[in-house]
Amino acid sequence: MLDLKPILFAARQAATLTRRVQQLHLSSSAKGVNDPVTIADYGSQALILRAISQAYPNDAVLAEEQAAQFASLVSDDQRATVVQLVSDVIGEPISEAQLIAWLDWGHGRDADRTWLIDPIDGTKGFIAGRRYSIAIAPLEGGMPIAGVLASPGYPTQDGLGLLFYAQTSAAYVEQMRGGKASRIAVSTRTNPTQFQVVESVERAHAHLERMKQVYQALGVPEKHVEGVDSQDKYAMLACGDADLYLRLPRELIPSHKVWDHAAGAALIRAAGGVVTDIDGSHLDFSDGDTLKNLGMIVSNGQAHDRIVEIVQAVLTAYPIE
């Protein structure tokens, strides 16, 4: 079994850095159309890959950001800011060369285990001051065997958020500041009219209109549907704060990145829930950076087969064009 302690420590460090950047409202850049990236993405990824390089030096990595982007998209002043932020978090001075080396550590390597990293999942939510996640998941045999979700924006009394993690058949949550871990599990609600539903905030991420038809068929009240950024939606289901998350595609050939779902899928399964494609088949993480799936149905498992049937009926009556 993997020792997740150094990864959890790095996730907390990344949460400290990203919260600092969010508070300072530091600027962002764009990798492409509708694809923002912030200096916090680079700092967070560097901290996580630093930890993986030390704890699991023979493993491979598939991460969202790249050192070449850092060099081309980020100004000299901003690069210096990232270096200073990472230095402050780890408590020792580092160089820009060290940070760049961490950003690309493990990329392109052939190994039995590959770590999927999304240093800030929900970047638009992060920029807007909403919720976001720091997602980490190791893959073996094309499947996530563990998952870590640092959720700095998860509502808590101290305002620091929560740290979720899972391995094999057990899922846990801790306060971001540390403390005793608590075992978590999905809800036992069986009546869809009582379900709390979470969905993407961004319309480009999912077909919200078709999803509304599914909710209506299930009898879910509109007031029970909440838009939430990032893989916090998976975390909410894993600890029983929500019961259903749908992601129906807006196009016939969608592109779902593996790092956007691997940690959440591992957390849900360990907490006793169910994660499938929209036809009920398993999610397939075995083909590079993109899932071989149309969408996601994530539930507490109590009415999953019925939800799949309703989704298929809605998409048959109103096909994706």
Active-site residue identified among 41, 118, 229, 243: 41
Active-site residue identified among 16, 38, 114, 123: 123
Sign of CA dihedral 289, 292, 297, 302: negative
Residue 311: HSE in the Cβ half-sphere, 13 Å Cα cutoff:
25
Distance CA 43, CA 34 (A): 21
For 105, the token pair is 């550590």
User: Which residues, 6+ apart, have CB-to-CB distance to 247 below 8 Å?
Assistant: 199, 200, 205, 206, 256, 295, 296, 297, 298
Distance CA 131, CA 22 (A): 11
Residue 123 is among the residues annotated as catalytic for this protein: yes
Residue 316 is among the residues annotated as catalytic for this protein: no
Q: What phi, psi does 207 have (nearest 5°)?
A: -85, 85
On whether the CB atoms of residues 162 and 174 are closer than 8 A, the answer is: yes
Q: DSSP states of 157-223 as a string? A: TTSS-EEEEEETTEEEEEETT----EEE-------GGG--EEE-SSGGGS-HHHHHHHHHHHT--GG
Q: Which residues are catalytic?
A: 41, 123
